[in-house]
Amino acid sequence: MTRARDLYGQPWREREYVIALHYYFEHKGEPRHDGSPFLQELAQVLDRTVGSVLMRMENFTSLDPDVNVMRTGLAHVSPLCRRVFDRWSGQRHALKACAELLVRDGHADNVPSLFEPEPVLLPRAFGKYELLDFIGEGSFGAVFSCIDPDSRQTYAMKIIRVDRMCDDECLHRFVREIRALKALEHPNVIRIHDENLDTERSFPAFVMELARKSLQEHFIESARASPDVRPVLPWPDRCDIFRSILKAADALHTGASRLVHRDINPANVLQTLDGRWVLADFSLAKFMPPVPVTSSFATTTSQGWATAYYASPEQYRSFRDVDERTDIYALGKLMWDLFSEEFPPPREAKPGLPGELTAVYLKATEWEPGRRYPTVKTFVDAFEGAASGLAPDGN
């Protein structure tokens, strides 16, 4: 664990946010750039880069109601950042007292305290990226936002989970995910920006595009706004998202390095900062033969790993022995998520889909793989034929 922390450091913590927010209010209205004395001082206090603390000032600006409402700041503002701002922005005197105490406490040889159980370490991931916020984690890896202090570009970094570092199978899967993404280049597949396999095989990580949100998060947000109805996007948006993921799956299946994703579901469909919808999380991907020996890895277990409801029946029978048709099944389930206005999920022959999409759904999700669409292209043709007969409102 210590070795991993030395490599990647720590994401921003509440202590750092409180101190940074105090500096924000104390120097509100002052110019903010690399040479700003207060930013250089804050970077030294926190043992962070100037680029990182400058980005936090932009975060606070985007949340500050006293600033021009047109200011948007950084597109990705973490929940922790919002909580700290909401809690402390109306208590300036208490914020000042707390921040000053935390600064004094932090100067005490950087030792643990009641406020900060572990000292903050400046991340040196790949020699340049600085961790920012925790985004989420799956079975094998944890995802953080990060920044390149030189270019000021923000990304997402995926690091193998500490509790899985000694698990050979998980380590192989993580390495294979990196190789899978390096083998792909498609606008609807998440783009890998950097990786460290050449230098850190024991602690692999990779840097990719930073997403604005997942399709699952969008559904959750919509459900909170209208809890009595299924969250449904406008018809053009539904078509755009589904077509994007169909294109991504087709690129996987027909590219030079043929892949089966094996975990297509709303949590792995992401919207990037430039508005594209992309397929992500290739931790369960499988290279289809023929592939180079160095890029293949056979799982040692027959366990059917994937996401319940979206996983095809054959994945539960034999996780290794599946082909492109297992993705067809998951795409059918994703189509229901996007185009049905009914819930709960469908049973038998009444999926609650408009028009001829019902027949498309039923064929894509046939129990036996041989009865499904054989390729993504045939699925696309069927979907487009059914969707063309529907009005923009989906009826």
Looking at residue 317, which CATH number applies to its domain? 1.10.510.10
Angle between helices 79-88 and 14-26 (to 10 degrees): 50
Beta bridge partners of 350: 347
- Is 241 a domain residue? yes
Residue 4 within any structural domain of the chain: no
* CATH classification at residue 163: 3.30.200.20
Range of the domain at 49: 12-106
Indicate whether 230 and 317 sit together in one domain.
yes
Alpha helices in 89-234 (DSSP H): 92-106, 168-182, 215-225
Indicate the pTM of the whole model: 0.81
Give the chain's domain count: 3
Same domain, 74 and 162: no
Q: Of 106, 141, 169, at which residue does a domain stop?
A: 106
Q: Specify whether 235 is located in the same domain as 335.
A: yes
Strands 259-260 and 286-287: antiparallel
Of 189, 208, 227, the residue at which a domain comes to its end is 208
Per-residue buried b or exposed e for 286-323, using 16+ beta carbons within 10 Å of the residue's own CB: bbbeebeeeeebeeeeeebbbbeebbbebbeeebeebe
Decide if 116 is inside a domain: no
pLDDT of residue 36: 93
Distance between CA atoms of 260 and 325, rounded to whole angstroms? Answer: 9
Phi-psi region of 132 (alpha: psi -120 to 50; beta: other; left: phi over 0): alpha
Q: In a structure prediction context, what are the per-residue pLDDT tens digits for the chain, which is 395 residues long?
A: 456 666 777 889 999 999 999 999 999 989 998 899 999 999 999 989 999 999 999 999 989 988 865 555 455 788 899 999 999 999 999 999 999 999 887 654 444 444 444 544 556 677 789 989 988 887 778 899 999 988 889 999 998 876 666 677 788 888 889 988 988 999 999 999 999 888 776 778 999 999 989 999 888 877 776 666 676 788 999 999 999 999 999 999 998 889 999 999 999 999 998 999 999 999 888 888 754 433 333 344 445 466 888 999 898 887 777 899 999 999 999 999 999 888 766 666 678 898 899 999 999 999 999 999 999 999 999 999 999 978 665 55
Q: Are residues 167 and 263 in the same domain?
A: no
Asked whether residue 329 is assigned to any structural domain, the reply reads yes
In this structure, are 192 and 235 located in the same domain?
no
Q: Are residues 328 and 296 in the same domain?
A: yes
Helix (H) or strand (E) holding 279: strand 277-279
Instruction: Measure the CA–CA gap between 323 and 20, rounded to whole angstroms.
Output: 51
Shared-domain flag, residues 318 and 236:
yes
Residues 169 and 56 placed together within one structural domain of the fold? no
Q: Are residues 357 and 323 in the same domain?
A: yes
Question: Do 219 and 189 lie in a common domain?
Answer: no
Q: What's the pLDDT at 175?
A: 86
CA distance 118 to 51: 23
Question: What span, in angstroms and rounded, lies between the C-alpha atoms of 196 and 203?
Answer: 9
- Residue at 5 is within a domain: no
Q: Is residue 394 part of a domain?
A: no
